[in-house]
């Protein structure tokens, strides 16, 4: 598993094909998910959408096919930057990619037909892919031996991913073996909590500690206080998970409070990062990811207050579904798109211009994409999301459809604009 040592390529170029295959697959799943949402709009804004076959299929397209797919591909590159070393095994990364993508496709087809064989086989391959991914990154972290708040946060998020997969597998077993509706519901929400707050939320929060100072070209970098952010965040995830699992609301409320406190500290840290930016490079769409951190903190804070004031309202379908839509399509999706506007040009530039001779006449990295256009297009996407959420809250399928259509148009234009980097 040490093939990287025999490679003459730098680590980021050695993993380039794997990373970009993940990115391409994730983008295709995202577009497919948005189009699927348009085609099933009346069903996705009903009070039963969260548990409906269409809702379950759509959620897995967005979370497994899109957000997790991109996160996995990016993590291979970010981990190498964090640890200043190469990924443990590129061959294992390819195995992970093949197993995971095949598993997601089979799982989605199984949900589409509600076919047990497809769901079981797809789920099994996803478990295999995640296991290989976890081992590969775990071995990379063990070899790197460079502990920072970002690496600690990423490792804990990886643990949350494992818990999410185990809970998802248990959820499938529960569905086919006839668990009680109450127990199944608690398992369902625990699965969502670890997947949304722990895995993806924790990973984005942790990576933001590294990526935002880098993209802002800021003098403000990580401090020991950032350990408190990731530890507090993950403590909240696990305490909240215990609360959802046991239906002990004091735990779930306390866990949510810890997560909100960690987000507040993260927002304050990013404020200092922004204020100490050199301003030498165009920030572009990354500003959107910055703004979304503050919005996410405020949304979570409101939910905490609602929990304390009226717990039943905080757990109502309208509130929970609105939160999930914002987190998945807003915070996760828009942040991923924003970070890709920096990651893809950097990786492509390094791939395209390798020698000193090639670099002499190379286009400047900052000029590879139009950051002003990408920022505007991302705001258009979020405008559509706002309409979609309004339609969901009022169960107005027409408003939701218009919002989702704007989102589709915004994403297509955004990805087309970003793909212009490959002209160079």
Condensed to tens digits (0 to 9), the pLDDT of residues 117-172 reads 999 999 999 999 999 999 999 999 998 878 899 999 999 999 999 999 999 999 98
Q: Report the pLDDT averaged over residues 87-114.
A: 96
pLDDT at 4: 45
Q: Is the pLDDT of residue 268 over 60?
A: yes
Rounded CA-CA distance 154/74 in Å is 12
Written as six digits, the tokens of 323 are 């939160």
Rounded CA-CA distance 203/64 in Å is 15
pLDDT > 70 fraction of the chain, expressed in percent and rounded: 94
Rounded CA-CA distance 261/263 in Å is 5
**CA nearest 401: which of 12, 38, 10, 16?**
38
pLDDT > 90 fraction of the chain, expressed in percent and rounded: 67
Rounded CA-CA distance 90/9 in Å is 12
pLDDT at 351: 80
What global pTM score does this model have? Answer: 0.93
Under the banding of pLDDT at 50, 70 and 90, the label for residue 49 is confident
Question: Which DSSP string corresponds to 9-76?
Answer: S-HHHHTHHHHHHHHHHHHHHHHHHHHHHHHTHHHHTSTTGGGSHHHHHHHHIIIIIIIIHHHHHHHH
Average pLDDT over the chain, rounded to an integer: 90
Question: Which DSSP string corresponds to 296-331?
Answer: HHHHHHHHHHHHHH-HHHHTSHHHHHHHHHIIIIII
Rounded CA-CA distance 154/387 in Å is 33
Q: For 144-148, 223-227, 344-348, 381-385, which range has the lowest pLDDT when averaged over its residues?
A: 144-148
Per domain, the residue ranges of the chain are: 1-146
Under the banding of pLDDT at 50, 70 and 90, the label for residue 358 is low
Q: Is the pLDDT of residue 5 over 60?
A: no
Rounded CA-CA distance 177/139 in Å is 36
pLDDT at 350: 84
Under the banding of pLDDT at 50, 70 and 90, the label for residue 282 is low
Q: Which helix (H) or strand (E) holds 286?
A: helix 286-309
């Amino acid at each position: 598993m040490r093939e990287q040592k025999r490679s003459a390529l730098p680590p980021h170029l050695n993993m380039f094909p794997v990373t970009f295959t993940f990115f391409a697959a994730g983008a295709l799943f995202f577009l497919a998910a948005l189009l699927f949402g348009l085609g099933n709009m009346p069903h996705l804004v009903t009070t039963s959408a969260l548990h409906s076959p269409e809702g379950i299929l759509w959620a897995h397209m967005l979370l497994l096919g899109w957000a997790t797919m991109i996160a996995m591909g990016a993590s291979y590159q970010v981990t190498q930057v964090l640890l200043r070393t190469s990924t443990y095994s590129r061959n294992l990364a390819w195995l992970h990619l093949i197993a995971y993508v095949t598993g997601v496709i089979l799982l989605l087809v199984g949900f589409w037909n509600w076919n047990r064989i497809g769901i079981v086989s797809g789920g099994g391959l996803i478990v295999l892919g995640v296991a290989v991914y976890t081992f590969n990154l775990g071995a990379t972290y063990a070899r790197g031996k460079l502990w920072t708040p970002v690496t600690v946060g990423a490792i804990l998020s990886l643990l949350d991913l494992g818990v999410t997969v185990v809970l998802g597998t248990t959820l499938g077993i529960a569905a086919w073996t006839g668990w009680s509706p109450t127990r199944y519901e608690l398992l369902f929400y625990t699965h969502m909590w670890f997947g949304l707050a722990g895995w993806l939320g924790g990973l984005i929060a942790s990576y933001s500690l590294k990526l935002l100072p880098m993209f802002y070209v800021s003098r403000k970098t990580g401090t020991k206080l950032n350990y408190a952010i990731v530890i507090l965040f993950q403590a909240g995830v696990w305490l909240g998970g215990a609360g959802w699992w046991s239906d002990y609301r004091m735990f779930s409320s306390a866990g949510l409070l810890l997560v909100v406190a960690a987000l507040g500290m993260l927002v304050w840290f990013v404020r200092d990062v922004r204020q100490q930016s050199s301003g030498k490079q165009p920030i572009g769409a990354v500003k959107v990811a910055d703004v979304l951190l503050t919005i996410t903190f405020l949304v979570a804070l409101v939910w905490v207050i609602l929990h304390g004031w009226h717990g039943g309202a905080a757990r109502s379908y309208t509130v929970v579904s609105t939160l999930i839509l914002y987190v998945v399509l807003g915070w996760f999706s828009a942040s991923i798109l924003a970070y890709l506007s920096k990651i893809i040009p950097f990786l492509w530039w390094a791939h395209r211009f390798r020698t000193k001779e090639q670099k002499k006449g190379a286009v400047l990295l900052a000029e590879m994409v139009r950051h002003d256009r990408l920022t505007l297009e991302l705001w258009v996407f979020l405008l559509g999301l706002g309409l979609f959420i309004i339609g969901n809250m009022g169960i107005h399928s027409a408003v939701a459809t218009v919002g989702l259509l704007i989102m589709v148009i915004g994403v297509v234009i955004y990805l087309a604009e970003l793909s212009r980097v490959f002209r160079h």
